Amino acid sequence: MNQSFSIPAGDFSHAGQAASEIKRLLKQLNIPPKVIKRVVVALYEAEVNVVAHSFGGSISCTITPEHIDIVVSDCGPGISDIELAMSEGYSTASSEVREMGFGAGMGLPNIKNNSDSLDISSSEQGTSIHMRVNFKEHTP
Amino acid sequence: MKLKEVVEVINGRIICGDAFLDREVHLGFASDLMSEVLTLLDEDILLITGLSNIQSIRTAEMSDITQILFVRGKQPTKNMIDLANEHEMVIMTTPYSMFRASYLLHESGLKPVY
């Protein structure tokens, strides 16, 4: 099953709509609530990142019986130092983003903590993150 | 404690979710930082926040939190209330500060998450 969403840049009112839709879908598929929470937290943070930091992007979700694969791609300007961006507390967010309750340098760490695999590639042309969450219940 | 007790303790007002005031809540978490709320594993939580925008409702939705208290008399917008109603959330406001509301609720039995 495939689902795609587009994310306009800078439009905070729409951030979370894709996560909301995926949450509804996973509930219908009887995925365990704890797993759904991992998926939607990671996806929501990724949506906020695209709205907050990029020139716009898109989300593509593929659901199989075992897992969900989510690819979030944007049109730039890219992350100059991914390792630094992954460290908790590091942020390049604008004051507008902070006013929305984000921008504390927790987005990418939250995505990492809630996905079973995470790949990030980035250039000036754009950033693409691929995350997978397995449906078998996670034991922390 | 029941949500109707929460409203009394903080001299609050119910914005939406009147039908769910018998719902019990045992934990409280006070933050304006939504990424921090998204790290919580518990769901039996009253979110106490001064951040009154659509993202606070979205964050509660993703975290399976069904009750939010806005402090310092913050008024949610119609969009926020619509989204909250869609997810059967109870939204309350209090004129008190986050510190005072948290103190009073803790005195009345609401436990911290950490």
Which runs of consecutive H residues, i.e. helices, occur in chain A? Answer: 17-28, 33-53, 82-86, 95-99, 107-114
CA distances from B50 to A130, B2, B15, B43, B103 (A): 33, 22, 15, 20, 15
Query: Closest approach of chain A CAs to the CA of B51, in angstroms?
Result: 7
Mean pLDDT, rounded, for A110-121: 97
> How many folded domains does chain A comprise?
1
CATH number of the domain that residue A57 is part of:
3.30.565.10
- Whether A104 is in a domain gets the answer yes
Q: Given an 8 Å threshold on Cβ–Cβ distance, is A110 in contact with B51?
A: no
Q: Could you tell me the domains of chain B?
A: 3-112 (3.40.1390.20)
- Whether A35 is in a domain gets the answer yes
* Segment A3-16, tens digit of pLDDT: 999 999 988 888 99
Query: Closest approach of chain B CAs to the CA of A40, in angstroms?
Result: 6
Q: Given an 8 Å threshold on Cβ–Cβ distance, is B64 in contact with A37?
A: yes
Mean pLDDT, rounded, for B13-21: 98
* CA gyration radius, chain B: 12
Residues 6 or more apart whose CB falls under 8 angstroms from that of B41 comprise: none
pLDDT interval class at A139 (50, 70, 90) = low
What residue type is assigned to position B12 of the chain? G
- Whether A139 is in a domain gets the answer no
The predicted pLDDT at position A138 comes to: 56
In this structure, are strands B13-16 and A126-134 parallel, antiparallel, or unpaired? Answer: unpaired
ipTM: 0.93
The predicted pLDDT at position A13 comes to: 86
* Residue in chain B nearest A39 by alpha carbon: B62
How far is it, in rounded angstroms, from Cα B89 to Cα B16? Answer: 7
Q: Given an 8 Å threshold on Cβ–Cβ distance, is A113 in contact with B36?
A: no
CA distances from B95 to B17, B33, B45, B72 (A): 19, 20, 20, 4
Q: Is any Cβ of chain B less than 8 angstroms from the Cβ of A13? A: yes
- Whether A74 is in a domain gets the answer yes
> For chains A and B, what is the number of CB pairs under 8 angstroms?
65
Q: Given an 8 Å threshold on Cβ–Cβ distance, is B79 in contact with A41?
A: no
The predicted pLDDT at position A137 comes to: 72
Q: Residue A60 sits in which domain range? A: 2-134
Query: Closest approach of chain B CAs to the CA of A139, in angstroms?
Result: 13
Q: Is any Cβ of chain B less than 8 angstroms from the Cβ of A40? A: yes
Mean pLDDT, rounded, for B45-73: 97
Q: What is the DSSP letter of A54?
A: S
- Whether A140 is in a domain gets the answer no
Mean pLDDT, rounded, for B64-81: 97
Residue A140, pLDDT > 70, answer no
pLDDT interval class at B74 (50, 70, 90) = very high
